[in-house]
Amino acid sequence: MSHTSKQATKDTAPILPGATLGVLGGGQLGRMFVQTAQAMGYFTAVLDKDETSPAGLVSHHHIRTGYEDPQGLAELARLCDAVTTEFENVPAGALNQLATSLPVSPAGSAVAIAQDRAAEKAHFVKCGVPCAPYAVIETAAQLAAVNDALLPGILKTARMGYDGKGQIRVKTRAELVAAWDELKQVACVLEKMLPLAHECSVIVARSRSGDIVNLPVQRNLHRDGILAVTEVFAGNVPPVQAEQAIAAAKSVAIGLDYVGVLCVEFFVLENGQLVVNEIAPRPHNSGHYSQNALDVSQFELQVRCMANLPLVQPRQHSATIMLNLLGDLWFSGGVAKTPAWDEILQLPGAHLHLYGKVDAKPGRKMGHLNITAATPEKARETALKATAILGIEAF
């Protein structure tokens, strides 16, 4: 198919199995996308310079270049009928370049907003979705003008922050000044610290024609800025909060004219108020349970969005808890070891997903464990057995 015809049909024709779907980024999200696309009958291509990238190792094609390499992007465009991304820090310009010759979802414009906390906050305000009080700090004058009401707060770099990186908690103006210096005086956003009851997220998928579906609301526990546990079952958050979160997530996606899978993360305050924290323009760690507890996973929704296939509302068939598996589990008392996966797989409803990463490192996401059960109580009982076996802190 020529690039012209690829582009001409992007708004109308479905891209059926047998075609080639591409992804920018070779991490675990790309790997799970590739495996899902292959199960649905597609060929796949990955662009990632790491020759041992988890997605590259299982894809039909692996283009080993950087995201902005002209030859690599040209090769991806030549091979593919549509392209997506699995990493929010892929340069928006690369997505825009690819979009001149084939369907790209999400669009570079949406990814650019997700890459910049200041633009992201402005988008939330425009959509009428509440977020924490904040100030943009790009200059010494803006730093000096910060309202005392925003302290204590969290200073976050406007760009390139994820999994708790590029964030410093500050209580006083002196700490704020020191923190901005520590972050090399790059553009930042200061967010007021709010009294949190818990955190949750919603994943939505939106098609080119504007159809939109959502996963159930996910209740999340973070440790050291990294997701540790996700619980999904009826009543995991109060019904009114769940409705508000789903409505807000859809509003954010529609406001971006978004195509693809989008995760919207929320703080739930002690008074029950919901405030949006940030968005991720891709499948999300908190949606991994969907592989085993829903009839349509977030990765299948990603394929359906980019291939112009119908979206169906996912249905949950099991209560579920997802445990993140970090590289720390491969080390006990400073000694390298393989976790007791055989004991884990004796547990009823245990579904092990490992990402094929060559080296285990503390704090590195190596896999996840989905626990499914008939009731929330059974899921929790089994998940706590799993934490005991693996040496993960209970919850």
Contact 258, 205 (CB under 8 A): no
pLDDT tops 70 at residue 142: yes
| β-strand pairing of 61-63 with 82-85 | unpaired
Q: Are residues 378 and 243 part of one domain?
A: yes
Q: How far is CA 289 from CA 140, 357, 379, in A?
A: 44, 20, 12
According to the model, what pLDDT value does residue 6 have? 55
127 located within any domain:
no
Give the count of alpha carbons within 13 A of 113, CB side only: 21
CA–CA dist 35, 103 (Å, integer): 21
pLDDT tops 60 at residue 125: yes
User: Which residues are annotated binding-site positions for ATP?
Assistant: 117, 156, 161-167, 191-194, 199, 222, 277-278
According to the model, what pLDDT value does residue 100 have? 97
85 located within any domain:
yes
Question: For position 20, which CATH number holds?
Answer: 3.40.50.20
According to the model, what pLDDT value does residue 164 have? 67
pLDDT tops 80 at residue 8: no
115 located within any domain:
no
Q: Are residues 174 and 62 part of one domain?
A: no
pLDDT tops 80 at residue 12: no
pLDDT tops 90 at residue 160: no
Write the pLDDT tens digit of every residue in 165-178.
789 999 999 999 99
Closest by Cα among 86, 117, 127, 11 to 281:
86
Q: Which long-range contacts (CB under 8 A, 24 or more apart) does 130-133 make?
A: 130/273, 130/274, 130/275, 130/276, 131/275, 131/276, 131/277, 132/191, 132/192, 132/194, 132/267, 132/275, 132/277, 133/191, 133/192
Structure tokens at 157: 């770099």
Q: Are residues 364 and 252 part of one domain?
A: yes
Q: Are residues 361 and 240 part of one domain?
A: yes
Domain extent for 368: 196-390
344 located within any domain:
yes
Q: Are residues 52 and 96 part of one domain?
A: yes
According to the model, what pLDDT value does residue 358 have? 87
Please report, rounded to a whole number, the percentage of residues in the chain having pLDDT higher than 90: 92
Q: Could you give the number of structural domains in the chain?
A: 3
Please report, rounded to a whole number, the percentage of residues in the chain having pLDDT higher than 70: 96
50 located within any domain:
yes
DSSP single-letter state for residue 216? P
Q: Are residues 350 and 253 part of one domain?
A: yes
Q: Are residues 225 and 181 part of one domain?
A: no
Q: What is the mean pLDDT of residues 220-243?
A: 95
Q: For 387, phi and psi rounded to 5 degrees?
A: -65, -35
Q: Are residues 175 and 93 part of one domain?
A: no
Boundary residue ending a domain (125, 159, 192) = 192
Looking at every residue in the chain, the average pLDDT score rounds to: 94
Question: For position 318, which CATH number holds?
Answer: 3.30.470.20
pTM: 0.94
Q: What is the mean pLDDT of residues 372-376?
A: 98
Q: Are residues 257 and 183 part of one domain?
A: no
Q: Are residues 336 and 358 part of one domain?
A: yes
According to the model, what pLDDT value does residue 334 have? 76
According to the model, what pLDDT value does residue 11 have? 65
Question: For position 154, which CATH number holds?
Answer: 3.30.1490.20
For residue 5, is it left (φ>0), alpha (ψ between -120 and 50) or beta? alpha
Of 112-126, 329-343, 366-380, the range with the lowest mean pLDDT is 329-343
According to the model, what pLDDT value does residue 60 have? 98
For residue 182, is it left (φ>0), alpha (ψ between -120 and 50) or beta? alpha
pLDDT tops 60 at residue 236: yes
Q: Are residues 201 and 186 part of one domain?
A: no
Cis peptide before 348 (omega within 30 of 0): no
122 located within any domain:
no
According to the model, what pLDDT value does residue 2 have? 43
Q: Are residues 264 and 152 part of one domain?
A: no
116 located within any domain:
no
pLDDT class for 254, splitting at 50, 70, 90?
very high
Q: What is the mean pLDDT of residues 220-240?
A: 95
Boundary residue ending a domain (192, 211, 241) = 192
44 located within any domain:
yes
User: Which residues are annotated binding-site positions?
Assistant: 117, 156, 161-167, 191-194, 199, 222, 277-278
